[in-house]
Structure formats: structure tokens, C-alpha cells
Amino acid sequence: MPSTRIMKRDWEKDHVYLVQFPRAGCIPSPSPFALKVETWLRVADVPYTNISNEFSKMSNKGQIPFVEVNGRQVADSNFIIDHLIETFSSKSLDDRLTPMEKSYARAYHALVEDSLRWVLVYERSRDNKWFATDEGFLSHFTGIKKIAFKNFMLERLRKRIAGQVFGQGMGRNTVEEVVTIAKKDLDAINMFLGNKKYFFGDKPVTLDCTMFAHLSQYLYTPQAFPDVKNYMVEHTPNLVSFVNRMKEAYWPDWEEATKGHSMNSKWKN
């Protein structure tokens, strides 16, 4: 339920509390927006602690993730990062970018979050059964709650997602049309990355966190139709290498976070 109440009452000054879903078994978060924020925190080296929303607590906007910083709640992943940059000005990842580079970053950010993102939502509106397996969230439930999650809550969630993707417009297309959109998006992103280590050189910026969070959903989560993942692997190997590079550099605790469901595993020395 949406709430303006602060979850962490005994908060520490200038410490970020990231509220998100519990860990999934195949990816730290099946929400690309939560994974984006957490990856950004790691790249920017901002101290943070994860808090599970226990599948119920939402921001005042009804969204996940949200953060609490110095007793204030901030929702929406993009506004979260803007607020963190304002709060921790020395942690901005994008200051070194030229105005032209920032315009490119903005355009490709919109491409992935306003187009490719809806391909993922479309796919999950067709089949989200993996959420109720060990690759998803099943291990977080026991007894009657596990039965309810598998048999009732999951289908209710799927229908809600289907309504969202239909209202947005992507849901009005056939599978073949959606896959074509995804392929064109991947080709454009792949062309922009080229042979670079990261999208703007040797160090990641905010766009890298965004791309990693969305692209990893196709590589590491079960897909209702595998065409997009197969195309990514076969035709845009640079993107696969990029995702693996980000994972290796900033998610050395991937197995502990997924298989071990650790919300706050140690990720740096």
C-alpha cells in the first residue's frame, strides 16, 4: 500500500535506505528500476542499506523502489538518482560528460525506458509463472501464503501488468511485432556502445547503470519467448559483454544475492 511513513526511524545521516522487493533467485531484482538504483549506488560508492518491502510496502506514489535519505522518502528511480546527486554532489557520475554526450545519454535512456522496457513488461504480461519458482520469489513464502501466491496472487499480478501494457500501447501488438521492436532497439544500443568498455569510455556513468539493469533482465531471467535473448546473444554480443563486465565489476556478490537471497551482502573490500 502507498505510504508516506518512514520505514527506517533510526536513520543515519547521509545514509541511503533502499526499499525494494526481496531478492529473486536468478537476479538481484526483477525490477530493472530497483536494479538500476542499486547499481548506481555501487558505482557512485554511496553508502546504502537495503530494506525489504515484504511485497506490500510501497512509496507514496505506489512505486518500488524508493529510498529514504535523512528522514525523507523519494520515489521513482530517475528522481531518486537526481536526489542522490543533489545530496551527494561529489558522487555524480555524469559531470565529466560534455553537453552533447549528456544529450545522447538522455536519448538512449529514453529508448531503453520508454521502449525496450515495455517489451519486457509485454513478455511478463504473457507469462510470469517463473515468479512462483525458485528462480523467482517462491522461497520467500511458506504454507498458505505460498499456495496463495502461486494460485491467486500471480495471476492477479499478470492481469494488472497486461492492463498496463495494453494501455501504454505495446500490448496491442503481436508477439512478432514486439520482438521486431526489441531487435531494432538492441541494434541501436549496440551501435552506440560499439567496442567501448562502457557507453562513454572507460568509466561507467548513469546510462551504464540503466542499460545494465534493463539488459540483464533478458539475459538472466526466464523469458516467455526467447527470441529477444537469442537475438541479443547472437547479433549484439557487445551488449552481452557489457552486461557481464558490469556484473563482474559491481556485482561480485551476485550468487550470494540471488541464490542466498542476501539483501545486504558484502560486495566490495
- State whether the Cα torsion 169-175-178-180 is positive or negative: negative
Q: How many CB atoms lie within 10 A of CB 265?
A: 18
Q: Which strands sit side by side in the sheet containing 72-75, from one edge to the other?
A: 48-52, 16-20, 66-69, 72-75
Q: Where are the domains of the chain?
A: 99-252
User: What integer pLDDT is reported at residue 42 of this predicted model?
Assistant: 97
Supply the DSSP symbol for 2. B
Whole-Å CA distances, 89 to 92, 184, 200, 234:
6, 36, 20, 40
Torsion angle in degrees (nearest 10) through CA of 244, 249, 251, 256: 100
Q: Which residues of the chain have pLDDT under 70?
A: 1-4
User: pTM of the prediction?
Assistant: 0.95
| Host H or E run for residue 44 | helix 32-44
Domain 99-252 class?
A: mainly alpha
What pLDDT is attached to residue 150?
87
pLDDT per residue as tens digits for the range 84-143: 999 987 778 999 999 999 999 999 999 999 999 999 999 999 999 999 999 999 999 889
Percent of the chain as helix, strand, coil, to the nearest 5: 55, 10, 35
pLDDT at 6: 83
pLDDT at 115: 98
